[in-house]
Amino acid sequence: MNFTQDDLWNQIATLGWDVRNDNIVIEIGGTQVSGIYQGENYNKKWAAQYGDRKYNKDAFLVIKNLSRDDNTKSQPMDREHAPHHGTPTTTKTARDTSTKEADATDNSANTTG
DSSP state of 84: S
Give the H/E segment covering residue 103.
helix 94-111
pLDDT at 72: 83
Give the model confidence (pLDDT) of 31-70 as tens digits.
988 878 788 887 877 788 788 888 999 999 999 999 988 8
Strand, coil or helix: what is 89? coil
Report the percent of the chain where pLDDT is more than 90: 28
Distance of CA 90 to the CA centre of its chain: 31
Pairwise CA distance, residues 20 & 89, whole Å = 55
* Lowest model confidence (mean pLDDT) among 24-28, 89-93, 104-108: 104-108
The domain ranges of the chain are 23-68
Mean pLDDT of the chain: 78
Q: Which residue has the higher pLDDT, 70 or 82?
A: 70
